[in-house]
Structures are given as C-alpha cells and as structure tokens.
Homo-oligomer: A and B are copies of this chain.
C-alpha cells in the first residue's frame, strides 16, 4: 500500500504518507506556553502513528492572540522541547511546528491589513519568521512549516486582493515578495539540512480571489527556493467572514471557510483538484517537491487512490485524525474497520468559531481527548436486538433503533445505507438512537443497518436491515433509460 510506504524529505524519514495538518485546538493558555492539555493532545496523535504531525500554528511575534501557542522568544523553547521529545518517545512519527504571523483584529470588526504595513514592519515580520524557525529547530522539532494560508499575514500578501501600489502588491511577483523573503530568511537561519515546508491556499475561494492560475506559480517559487514540501489548503479568508457582534472577525465563518473544511455537503476529496493542479505543474517544470493534499479525505481507499494516481505525494487529514488519532495505526495493523469515522458535521469547526476548546463531537461527553481505552469486549444490543425501523415522514426517512450496552462505554452508532442494490456505505454516526435522513429521493429503495461501537473500537453485530422507499414522483408510464 503506497500510503504506508516511507518517504524521505531532506533527511527526515516519514514512516508513512499520512500527515496531520496543523489544526487549531484552543487548548493552550493565553500565555502561549505548552500546557498539559496541549501535551496530551499531541501525545495522543503521536500514539496514532501518522507519518508527520504538524503541531498547531505558533506565533512568531508577541502579539495578543488568545489561547494560541507562541514561539516568539527563547522562553518558549523548553516546554516545546519536552513535548517533542515525549512525542518522539511514543513512536516513529516525525514532528513539525507550524509558525504563523497574523495582523491585529478588534472586537469592533476592524482589522489591520497588509496595506497598513510599512516596509520596516514587513522586514520585521520576515526576521520574526526566521528567528522562530531557529527556535523550532533548537526545540528538537524535525521540521518547520511556514503558515502562508488562509487569513494570515503572508497569505494576505499573496492574495489577489492585495493592491498595495509598491513592490509588495498588485503584480504576482510583488505579492510573492514577502513569501520569498521569508522562505529565504528561514532557510538561512535553519541551514540547508533542516526540512522547511509551506502551507498555503491553492485557491482563495472569495470574490476576486486567486485560483490555480496564480497558486501554481507560487508553488513553483517555493520549489525553486528549496522548500521541502508544499501543503495545499483553500479558503479560510477574512473577506467573506461573518462578523459576530462583540467578537473579533473570524475567518472560516463564510463560504471560504466551508471550502477550507468541506462539510457533509461536499463530495469526498473535494479539494484534490488543487493538489493535483499544483503537483502536475511542479512535475512538468522538473520539480519533485512533495505535495500534501487535504480536504475531506476520510477513507484509506481514497487516500491510496490519490497517491496511486499521482494527484499528491502525502495525504493530510485533520478532522479524520481528530475523530480517531489511531486512524494510521489501525490501517497499518489491518484494522481499518475499527476506525472511528469522522462524520464531517464540523462541530469542531463551530467550536473554534465560537472561541471554545476544539474537540470532536463523537468523543465521550466532556472529554478533551480521543478515548484511549483497553477494552476487548464488544457492546451488545440491550434487548438482544436493535429493532431498527425506517419510515418515511414528509419526504424524509426517520430511523429509530434500540440502545446498546457496553461494560465500559458506548462511543456511538454507525449508520450504513444502500441505495437500490448498491453497497452499504457509512452514512454517518450519531450518539443517540434516532436519525433523520434528508438525502433521499423517491423511487429509490434504501436499506439501512446500524451498529453500536465502544471506546475500544469494538462493534455490536449489525442490526436488522430496514427498508424504505419514498413514492416515485415521476410516475411516468415509461421512465426507461434513453
């Protein structure tokens, strides 16, 4: 399986192609130091065995930032070093730190823009990136990733909305200038033998934003500058963010936020066309820098096909690994059927948007981390059977079933569905014993079964299969294929 093959990146040997992209947790204190919750979160990921774990964005500057990690002076190094060392002790995962600069935002909705920055301030930001990267190396990280995506400073320079009239705006070269200078400064600081990656938007997904036409040139520049990987994201911009009165403007709240973290509305792998566009352009230009794909990649089969079809070199999964940090370990051990499947309901995203600690809705109530429990006893249907019932109510399908019990605790219930004679696919997972399926059309025979699963990943037997068909509204005498 290509997904499980090691890959060497500038001397750093990843044991597999699975990447945890940087993901905000809001677990750190306002002081920006590593605390116990942060440490637990990343040790939990290290237990799972992803090839590369990118620790959440830490700020390169000293600005006020809420509960966000910082690496803006040397005092932050010891806590980081201890965490990284403990992660390395857990297993073969490599660990990178993502470093970020962001501009000021206020509760009034005001925000500082790149057009407000003096050349002096731009130069200071470049220096801060370099110094922070040096601290990352000294903290024992295996690599550093520069955050140039979404709504943050370097991305805002890259934006097609950047109309600065000087050498830092308007033309593609001018927009790339701070990125170029930051990469060069970081490389000079950390030396040639330390892996440096970049995460950036391959498409802004806002009105008058850039698309692959520009981003492929950005990626080419990164490759020419000797970046060691290019991690592809999309959207997550301020320009279409929805302002919540009394709170600072938060990106990811508009359409571009949907595109950054595609929800249940989107097909699997909704953004793969972006990594594909970037990778094919780089390869065509003679560069082999690894490209990381992200965006609702949830199954080992999809991940594998992306690699086999050369649409990316590495597979990034944020929400899927939040739901189950052991996703990689389970694939490696041939226990893919035990993966706790992300349902892409974006409760994690909503928590972040509301400035709350980021957790997965599938975890047990109140848990700050994914459960890690030794439990080999499977749960059982409380009344010996699930008694799943599916009925139509006003053009929707209502499902009900019995509870299940476990000696420790039930995690939730997985719902599988087949349309006509198709395969049973995982539709979603829920914590209760009730679900309404809105994604149904008349004239199709839907069959469902459910099963409960416990914190150890053990499953009940499948429930009975319940069948329902909404009336076919076409009612045509001959609706035959033409």
Whether the Cβ atoms of A474 and B225 lie closer than 8 Å is: yes
What mask results when residues 237 to 273 of chain A are scored 1 for a CB within 8 Å of chain B, else 0? 0001000000000000011111000000111001001
A54-B453 Cα distance, complex, nearest whole Å: 55
Chain B residues whose C-beta falls within 8 Å of the C-beta of A257 in the assembled complex: 207
What 0/1 pattern do residues 429 to 465 of A give for CB contact below 8 A with B?
0000000011111110000000000000000000000
Q: Does A329 sit at the interface, judged by CB under 8 A?
A: no
Copies in the complex: 2
A224 contacts chain B at the CB level, 8 A cutoff: yes
A171: interface (CB < 8 Å):
yes
Q: Is A384 an interface residue (CB 8 A)?
A: no
**Is there contact, CB below 8 Å, between B395 and A225?**
no
Cβ of A340 to closest chain B Cβ, rounded Å:
22
A181, B476: Cα distance in complex, Å: 12
Contact B265 A210 (CB under 8 A): yes
Q: Is A287 close to B, CB under 8 A? A: yes
A470 CB contact (under 8 Å) in B173, B473, B479: B173
Set B181, B210, B221: member contacting A441, Cβ < 8 A: B221
A184 touches B (CB below 8 Å): yes
- Flag if A207 contacts B171 (CB, 8 Å): no
**Most chain B CB atoms below 10 A, which of A209, A225, A265:** A265
Segment at the interface with B among A26-34, A124-132, A211-219: A211-219
Q: Which residues of B contact A41 (CB under 8 A)?
A: none
* Complex partner residue of A288 from B214, B223, B255, B481, CB under 8 angstroms: B481
Q: How far is the CB of A442 from chain B (nearest CB, A)?
A: 5
Asked if A322 is an interface residue, CB under 8 A from chain B, the answer is: no
Is A5 located at the chain interface by the 8 A CB criterion? Answer: no
CB distance from A163 to the nearest CB of B (A): 10
Q: Which residues of B contact A212 (CB under 8 A)?
A: 267
Minimum CB–CB distance for A452 against chain B, Å: 26
Do residues B211 and A265 form an inter-chain contact, with CB atoms below 8 A?
yes
- A305 vs chain B, min Cβ distance (A): 15
Say whether A482 contacts B287, CB under 8 Å: yes
Contacting residues, chain B, for A208 (C-beta < 8 A): 258, 265
The answer to whether B213 touches A479 (Cβ under 8 A) is: no
Q: Is the CB of B479 within 8 A of A441?
A: no
Contact B221 A287 (CB under 8 A): no
The answer to whether A207 and B254 have CB atoms under 8 Å apart is yes
CA distance A214 to B349 in the complex (A): 23
**A180: interface (CB < 8 Å):** yes
CB distance from A350 to the nearest CB of B (A): 12
Inter-chain CA distance A441–B222, complex, in Å, is 13
**Top-6 shortest CB links A-B:** A174-B395, A286-B481, A207-B255, A171-B396, A171-B438, A171-B395
24 contacting pairs across A/B (C-beta < 8 A): A166-B394, A170-B438, A171-B394, A171-B395, A171-B396, A171-B440, A174-B396, A177-B395, A177-B473, A181-B473, A207-B254, A207-B255, A208-B258, A210-B265, A211-B265, A223-B481, A224-B474, A225-B474, A225-B479, A226-B482, A240-B240, A286-B481, A287-B482, A289-B482
